[in-house]
Structure 1
Amino acid sequence: MIYKKYIKRVIDICAALVAILVFWWVYVIIAILVRFKLGSPVIFKQERVGKNEKIFMLYKFRSMSDAKDEKGNLLPDSVRLTKFGKLLRASSLDELPEMFNILRGEMSLIGPRPLPSEYLDYYNSFERQRHEVLPGLSGWAQVNGRTAIGWEKRFKYDVEYVKKISFGMDMKIIFLTIKKVFSHSDIIEAGNQGNFDDFRKNQWREQDAERNRQ
């Protein structure tokens, strides 16, 4: 398919370049605010899984503090996420540095959201299909519930996108993403959704328990 193989990448490069060159001042302002309110580092870096399960380093503006308990352990995400961090996430401004991931060919504007590398061992064969395309800044799952839907539904939408990818679908997702961002809908706080690895482990335990009862 011409769009998937060539045109989509050209659009990604042009859009990322325009975003960085036109809104460079937004990057500077957010970086200064993050430094002032949360300290260093300004950029949050984490290994994520990309196309064909290749690991890459994802960049985001930092949205959580380094608050620790009396033993020196980091407090839960829900506690470390400040009001400023919540604002960054609700507006999706924390995602702006991912434009550089797009320029590097590690991400696309639209695609399944890249998830942490530690989740790799927990996908089934159906879910792994989400890695057949570049991960995206936004995706089909994000405009159908964002972080408010469960893991199985998210993966169902991700794989559906992989199978139906087209210019029209990408434009629809971009429009719906902008609408979601401005309406601040389908957003839950950090720590409330749960990690995928914990979800899958619990699922396996339930399946084992069910087999033992049979």
Structure 2
Amino acid sequence: MLAKRLFDLSLALCATPFLLLPILLVALAVRLTSPGPVLYWSDRVGCDNRLFRMPKFRSMRVDTPAVATHLLSNPGAYLTPVGSFLRRSSMDELPQLWSILKGDMSFVGPRPALFNQDDLIALRTDAGVHELLPGLTGWAQINGRDELPIPDKVKLDIEYLRKRSFGFDLRILWLTVLKVLRRDGVSH
């Protein structure tokens, strides 16, 4: 656990200088193309089902309901002018470096559930997955991302729980980079 935390801190501190310019450019693009704050702070479920506030660059309009994107009848109608690009490129996730530095998240783990995703939270709790620190990416993300039904995500989260190791985390990080570059599995 300590080794994973040290790895997360080291990687986040090393990545931050390289990501500073993209972060500033995305913040400027969000600010110039839509009214409202640059960041969207989402209430998420973390380790041991504790709530924390997770930042993302705002890719949706400020009047968007606080539900999972797949539950919106027409998610594309809520996107900001740069929102689609931010989601396809995963650049909306860059502010989560803050959550990693703060210790609310890890680079690798199950993606943090929204506070109101009761079905996902219950399945993860029953399987013991809730004891893991949520991640910026995870085994479910590289095996389907937005396209997976919740029971399938939880099965992959359980597989991660059983297989977790430093080597497995490195494999997931590498596969995530490939997925992001190919824009695989992003619905909006």
Larger Rg: 1
Match of 1:117 among 94, 115, 118: 115
Give the Å deviation of 1:160.
1.2
Structure 1: which 5+ runs fail to align? 69-73, 190-214
Give the Å deviation of 1:93.
0.4
Number of matched pairs: 180
Corresponding residue for residue 141 of structure 1: 140
Matched residue of 2:60: which SS?
A: coil
Match of 2:102 among 98, 101, 104: 104
Q: Give the 5 Å matches for 1:29-108.
A: 29-66=25-62, 76-108=74-106
Deviation sequence 1:124-159 (CA, Å, 0-9, x none): 466552211100000000011111111111111011
Whole-Å separation in 2 of the counterparts to 1:67 and 1:133: 32
Contact 2:30 2:57 in 1 (8 A): yes
Deviation sequence 1:97-137 (CA, Å, 0-9, x none): 00000000000000000011122476146655221110000
Query: TM-score by structure 1 length?
Result: 0.78
Query: TM-score by structure 2 length?
Result: 0.88
Match of 1:25 among 12, 21, 26: 21
Contact 1:127 1:155 in 2 (8 A): no
Deviates more, 1:129-138 or 1:79-88: 79-88
Structure 2: which 5+ runs fail to align? 65-71
Deviates more, 1:169-178 or 1:112-121: 112-121
Letter paired with 1:35: R
Distance 1:59 1:126, change over 3 A: closer
Distance 1:127 1:153, change over 3 A: farther
Query: Percent identity over the alignment?
Result: 38
Indicate the RMSD between aligned Cα atoms, in angstroms: 2.0
Matched residue of 1:65: which SS?
A: coil
Q: What stretches of structure 1 move > 4 A for 4+ residues in a row? A: 125-128
